[in-house]
Amino acid sequence: MNVLKSFIKNESGATAIEYGLIAVGIAVAIISIVKAVGTNLTTAFTKVNTGLVTP
């Protein structure tokens, strides 16, 4: 019975899952930011290229 009580009170697995979810959230945020910055850079370089090619 004591083993069952200690198993129910043990929260180390829940903590690991929470850290995993936090890591996934941070990764999604980073990917979104990098994608947005990449799109903006592509647009900027296209404008620069167009300006250099067309006098």
| Residue 42 falls inside a structural domain | yes
Q: Minimal CA–CA distance to 33: which of 25, 44, 43, 22?
A: 25
| Residue 40 falls inside a structural domain | yes
Q: How many domains does the chain have?
A: 1
Which pair of tokens denotes residue 29?
């945020």
pTM check: above 0.75: no
| Residue 34 falls inside a structural domain | yes
Residue-number span of the structural domain to which 42 is assigned: 26-50
| Residue 36 falls inside a structural domain | yes
**pLDDT per position as a tens digit, 1-55:** 787 777 677 777 777 888 889 999 999 999 999 999 999 999 999 999 988 886 6
Q: Minimal CA–CA distance to 31: which of 19, 23, 21?
A: 23
| Residue 41 falls inside a structural domain | yes
